[in-house]
Chains A and B, each alone.
Chain A
């Protein structure tokens, strides 16, 4: 048994309102640069829909993920090592920019500087690749809220794999939102596809990262990832991907997408797993068994044997403690309401989802029935095969039983809690809980985690270690870098050339410049940084009135404002 810790995420899809705040804040934080205009580390898809990039789930076309071959071994779907090297001069499975979209801007200047004329000036869209006028025909969420989906919906690979009757009955429409980030898989096929060995899984927290100095731009990771969550920066020629905001996690903060989620639907926490079992678990023959085999890989953090093994692997005690309090563990193993996205890709994804009950509730409520009554909901779950088959296509490789079970638990929670809300303690109907194999107390705990969802319950993030803190880039006061502090200036080949300057050193120079400049940068400003708290900092108070008053001087220094 080799215990490893994995930082992972769960999203509660019932609470997603499709506002794209996560996408926008992520983009502002990570990909608002030239060369990654089309890159969305976090995107929100409307389902059913084609996703981003268009139709990425069609692995017959894109060749992502792993397959089990006849000898019962895992191999990369788009070919192993020799196949990769043989096609290195032209990657046959690489999405082109038009499978994403051609990024554009508008000539806003026209709006401000157009001469007076008969017609209102128009800001035309301009391609960010060629600078020419362009017609906008696709983007990252073109079919948002099923917009225009009558034309594109048949391209949804999940719908295509469902049985025939679905296409006919599509007028009984349902939809939900699916926010996606990198899955930070336990068995990442992007890492396996990288010829340079530049992609890696971090030992401490399992985050999958690209070493930008080692990436040589072979683009095999983009094809290898079945979720198409590795992107190619066309300006730098390097692969980039979701970093799970590791600089934030290291200091105990949730990721930007989680922090800014207005629906508060994201959960972050650790999972302990047995790294020795991953390959075996990913190789089980039956695709629908992959969900259960992945659950088997996770280790119970309360088990003393696991704790002992984790300690011997050097996992610190506060990390083990965080794993014990992890909302991820509770939602996956205790309540069993979270499911992985496309386990059939055999990458062992680690961003899981609580499937939405709302398509079912909506149908029940719209038909005039009680959408919060347990028996009505259970019956509806039995009957509404289309949404449930669709969810199974996303989360369980097509097996409806686990989706059924999850939705029943969510329905039971809804119904059980309504009883308490309406009738207080008298309304506790234990039979609802036992119908789905839980106890009333468990249902209430789950309710607290899913519906109350306090910040400290959603995010259980152990920070990187105090004794290592001085070494973390953002906290470091490391002056041990080329040319050291005080040398300053640009590198030998123009500004910003040469290795990067640590943030702490950059700040040091800014402060030093400000403190030693002849004149203050903002006149009248008091520098409290060099004030030790004793006595008065110069300029903090107006000069004391002297005996012989000088009216001219008093007028020039307004009191306190200096």
Chain B
């Protein structure tokens, strides 16, 4: 499969590295990293909120950033994972999509960036918050800020003020090709530099993800909507510091229900 595309001029070793090897490595680190972190460091799996230190700026910045980034996430899902032909078939034309993606996307980008600026400003200027910032937080801010900055720059330069770049013909199929395990790095060769840098920053962010406070994304408490309000747990459910290994369960009398069925 790789041999088939290796002959074409647009596939260089560098493009294989950047658009095939790196994304798969990032995916591996992302998945394995999360499994490891969950098993090894449940205690460290938290939002590490600093709201008790300072609330005035957080009250403004945090909802702006989070709502903005959720809109951005939805935009990326629609733009990257839904083939344009599907949207055409339900009547969303290229022009309509472009208008929607550009304007809603710009709104979400501004919301996210302003929120992030407020939060970073707060983190740097409020003493206790700055002291509670770990080195990993700082690395994460670079990756996250870079991803958002270049993504927004690409949108504004090319989509809003430029002629409009048709990424659903190149970047989106490339992303889907990664998921179908038939990577097509040649699709990324002629993508504008801004988008390329955005993708690379994003890849780096995914690799860092499991080792930062970003893991709290995966504990979004949607289960709260359906569980009963009061939770009861038995002392006996988890006694000791470790769950029993298979084959080492304690002695129990046989289930009388099962005996009756014999």
Give chain A's interface residues, CB within 8 Å of chain B.
Answer: 81-82, 84-85, 88-92, 94-97, 129-132, 187-188, 191-192, 194-197, 199-205, 211-219, 232, 234-238, 464, 468, 471-473, 476, 478, 480-482, 498-502
Interface: B132 (CB within 8 A)? yes
Which of chain A's residues has its CB closest to B213's CB? A237
Contact with A along B176-187 (1 / 0, CB 8 A): 000000000000
In the complex the two chains form, is A214's CB within 8 Å of B42's CB? yes
A-B contact pairs, 5 of them (CB 8 A): A94-B51, A97-B128, A202-B235, A216-B219, A237-B47
Interface: B240 (CB within 8 A)? yes
Interface: B124 (CB within 8 A)? no
Flag the segment in B16-24, B105-113, B153-161, B225-233 that touches A.
B225-233
A198 to chain B, nearest CB (A): 8
Interface: B76 (CB within 8 A)? no
Q: Which residues of chain A have C-beta atoms less than 8 A from B52's C-beta?
A: 94-97, 219, 232, 234
Which of chain B's residues has its CB closest to A471's CB? B239
In the complex the two chains form, is B225's CB within 8 Å of A85's CB? yes
A285 CA / B63 CA spacing, docked (Å) = 37
B14 to chain A, nearest CB (A): 34
In the complex the two chains form, is A203's CB within 8 Å of B233's CB? yes
Which of chain B's residues has its CB closest to A100's CB? B52
In the complex the two chains form, is A191's CB within 8 Å of B230's CB? yes
In the complex the two chains form, is B242's CB within 8 Å of A234's CB? no
B17 to chain A, nearest CB (A): 30
In the complex the two chains form, is B48's CB within 8 Å of A90's CB? no
Given A89-B67, A481-B241, A213:B43 Cβ within 8 A: yes
Q: Which residues of chain B have C-beta atoms less than 8 A from A218's C-beta?
A: 47, 49, 221
Q: Which residues of chain B have C-beta atoms less than 8 A from A90's C-beta?
A: 51, 55, 58-59, 62-63
B85 to chain A, nearest CB (A): 35
A208 to chain B, nearest CB (A): 10
B255 to chain A, nearest CB (A): 15
Q: Which residues of chain A have C-beta atoms less than 8 A from B261's C-beta?
A: none
Which of chain A's residues has its CB closest to B127's CB? A130
A194 CA / B228 CA spacing, docked (Å) = 11
Q: Which residues of chain B have C-beta atoms less than 8 A from A94's C-beta?
A: 51-52, 55
B39 to chain A, nearest CB (A): 9
In the complex the two chains form, is A96's CB within 8 Å of B54's CB? yes
Interface: B40 (CB within 8 A)? yes
Chain B, 41-83, CB within 8 A of any chain A CB: 42-43, 45-55, 58-59, 62-63, 65-67
In the complex the two chains form, is A232's CB within 8 Å of B49's CB? yes
Q: Which residues of chain B have C-beta atoms less than 8 A from A97's C-beta?
A: 52-53, 128
Q: Which residues of chain B have C-beta atoms less than 8 A from A499's C-beta?
A: 241-242
CB-CB nearest 4 A-B residue pairs: A195-B221, A192-B229, A237-B46, A130-B127
B41 to chain A, nearest CB (A): 9
In the complex the two chains form, is B230's CB within 8 Å of A88's CB? no
In the complex the two chains form, is A85's CB within 8 Å of B232's CB? no
Q: Which residues of chain A have C-beta atoms less than 8 A from B50's C-beta?
A: 234
Given A480-B245, A502-B241, A464:B233 Cβ within 8 A: no
Q: Which residues of chain A have C-beta atoms less than 8 A from B59's C-beta?
A: 90, 92
A203 CA / B231 CA spacing, docked (Å) = 10
Interface: B256 (CB within 8 A)? no
A281 to chain B, nearest CB (A): 14
A379 CA / B220 CA spacing, docked (Å) = 60
Interface: B131 (CB within 8 A)? yes
In the complex the two chains form, is A471's CB within 8 Å of B46's CB? no
A357 CA / B195 CA spacing, docked (Å) = 76
Q: Which residues of chain B have C-beta atoms less than 8 A from A201's C-beta?
A: 230-233
Q: Which residues of chain A have C-beta atoms less than 8 A from B245's C-beta?
A: 480
Which of chain B's residues has its CB closest to A201's CB? B232
In the complex the two chains form, is B43's CB within 8 Å of A236's CB? yes
Chain A binding site: helix, strand, loop or mixed by DSSP?
loop
What band does the interface of chain B fall in when counting residues whose beta carbon is under 8 Å from A? 35 or more
In the complex the two chains form, is A197's CB within 8 Å of B224's CB? yes
Interface: B138 (CB within 8 A)? no
In the complex the two chains form, is B233's CB within 8 Å of A481's CB? no
Q: Which residues of chain B have C-beta atoms less than 8 A from A482's C-beta?
A: 242
Which of chain A's residues has its CB closest to B126's CB? A130
- A-B residue pair count with CB separations less than 8 angstroms: 152
A206 CA / B93 CA spacing, docked (Å) = 60
Which of chain A's residues has its CB closest to B42's CB? A213
Q: Which residues of chain A have C-beta atoms less than 8 A from B254's C-beta?
A: none
Which of chain B's residues has its CB closest to A129's CB? B128
A211 CA / B42 CA spacing, docked (Å) = 11
Q: Which residues of chain B have C-beta atoms less than 8 A from A192's C-beta?
A: 229-230
Which of chain A's residues has its CB closest to B40's CB? A498
Which of chain B's residues has its CB closest to A193's CB? B229
A476 CA / B240 CA spacing, docked (Å) = 8
A454 CA / B96 CA spacing, docked (Å) = 82
A277 to chain B, nearest CB (A): 14
Interface: B13 (CB within 8 A)? no
In the complex the two chains form, is B248's CB within 8 Å of A216's CB? no
Q: Which residues of chain A have C-beta atoms less than 8 A from B216's C-beta?
A: 216-217
In the complex the two chains form, is B240's CB within 8 Å of A478's CB? yes
User: For B40, B53, B55, B231, which residue has the most chain A Cβ atoms within 10 angstroms?
Assistant: B231
In the complex the two chains form, is A202's CB within 8 Å of B233's CB? yes
In the complex the two chains form, is A130's CB within 8 Å of B49's CB? no
Q: Which residues of chain A have C-beta atoms less than 8 A from B242's C-beta?
A: 480-482, 499
Q: Which residues of chain B have C-beta atoms less than 8 A from A500's C-beta?
A: 241
A528 to chain B, nearest CB (A): 30
Q: Which residues of chain B have C-beta atoms less than 8 A from A195's C-beta?
A: 221, 224
B3 to chain A, nearest CB (A): 40
A238 CA / B242 CA spacing, docked (Å) = 21
In the complex the two chains form, is A96's CB within 8 Å of B225's CB? no
In the complex the two chains form, is B231's CB within 8 Å of A88's CB? no
Q: Which residues of chain A have C-beta atoms less than 8 A from B91's C-beta?
A: none
Q: Which residues of chain A have C-beta atoms less than 8 A from B225's C-beta?
A: 81-82, 85
Q: Which residues of chain A have C-beta atoms less than 8 A from B233's C-beta?
A: 200-203, 211
In the complex the two chains form, is A191's CB within 8 Å of B229's CB? yes
Q: Which residues of chain A have C-beta atoms less than 8 A from B230's C-beta?
A: 187-188, 191-192, 201
A497 CA / B199 CA spacing, docked (Å) = 34
User: For A188, A218, A472, which residue has the most chain B Cβ atoms within 10 angstroms?
Assistant: A218
A330 CA / B215 CA spacing, docked (Å) = 50
Given A130-B131, A216-B46, A473-B241, A203:B58 Cβ within 8 A: no
Given A197-B227, A237-B46, A480-B242, A91:B221 Cβ within 8 A: no
Known: A81-B224, A130-B127; 8 extra A-B contacts, CB below 8 A, are A97-B128, A129-B128, A188-B230, A191-B231, A203-B234, A216-B45, A219-B49, A232-B49
Q: Which residues of chain A have C-beta atoms less than 8 A from B250's C-beta?
A: 471
Interface: B135 (CB within 8 A)? no
Interface: B7 (CB within 8 A)? no
Q: Which residues of chain B have C-beta atoms less than 8 A from A132's C-beta?
A: 127
In the complex the two chains form, is B240's CB within 8 Å of A471's CB? yes
A106 to chain B, nearest CB (A): 19
Q: Which residues of chain B have C-beta atoms less than 8 A from A212's C-beta?
A: 43
Which of chain B's residues has its CB closest to A88's CB? B221
In the complex the two chains form, is A217's CB within 8 Å of B232's CB? no
A247 to chain B, nearest CB (A): 11
Chain B, 137-180, CB within 8 A of any chain A CB: none
In the complex the two chains form, is A473's CB within 8 Å of B131's CB? no
A42 CA / B183 CA spacing, docked (Å) = 61
Contact with A along B247-261 (1 / 0, CB 8 A): 010100000000000
In the complex the two chains form, is B234's CB within 8 Å of A91's CB? no
Q: Which residues of chain A have C-beta atoms less than 8 A from B236's C-beta?
A: 204, 468, 471
In the complex the two chains form, is A217's CB within 8 Å of B47's CB? yes
